[in-house]
């Protein structure tokens, strides 16, 4: 979602399912002042949100958006969790042996 203007409000929205690629560009000046620019590529025609300028807290927002994108697109494609997180235990877990019922013929 992109909101522009001080007096008038113009809101542009792009569904996450349409985003094919995203890039963050931060200049040295932007790093000092805490902002960056996002470049978004989407499936289909040219979109109004292809460049989002002066995003505050860019690293945090970029990671949050990427986690939403990978959660959405990667469903069922791999282990659950955020990208780069260590995978959980693989395969079925060992089960406890059953308790003796007391009706064994060897008793």
* Residue 23 domain flag: yes
Q: Which two tokens stand for residue 5?
A: 């203007």
| Cα–Cα distance measured from residue 87 to residue 102, given in angstroms and rounded to the nearest whole number | 41
* Residue 88 domain flag: no
The domain in which residue 23 lies consists of 2-73
Q: Which residue has the higher pLDDT, 107 or 29?
A: 29
The pLDDT value recorded for residue 37 is: 94
Percent of the chain residues topping a pLDDT of 90: 25
Interval 37-72: pLDDT, tens: 999 888 776 666 788 889 999 999 999 988 988 875
Give the pLDDT band of residue 31 (cuts 50, 70, 90). Answer: very high
The number of domains in the chain is 1
* Residue 43 domain flag: yes
* Residue 84 domain flag: no
* Residue 102 domain flag: no
Is residue 64 helix, strand or coil? helix
* Residue 85 domain flag: no
* Residue 94 domain flag: no
β-bridge partners, 39: 23, 51
* Residue 15 domain flag: yes
State the pTM of this model. Answer: 0.56
Nearest to 15 by CA among 101, 73, 83, 56: 73
| Cα–Cα distance measured from residue 51 to residue 68, given in angstroms and rounded to the nearest whole number | 19
């Amino acid at each position: 979602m992109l909101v522009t203007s001080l007096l008038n409000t113009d809101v542009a929205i792009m569904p996450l399912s349409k985003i094919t690629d995203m890039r963050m560009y931060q200049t040295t000046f932007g790093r000092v002042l805490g902002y960056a620019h996002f470049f978004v590529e989407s499936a289909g025609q040219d979109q109004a949100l292809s460049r989002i300028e002066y995003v505050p807290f860019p690293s945090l927002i970029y990671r949050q958006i990427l986690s939403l994108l990978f959660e959405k697109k990667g469903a069922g494609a791999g282990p659950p969790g955020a990208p780069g997180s260590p995978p959980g235990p693989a395969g079925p877990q060992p089960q406890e042996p059953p308790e003796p019922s007391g009706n064994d013929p060897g008793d």
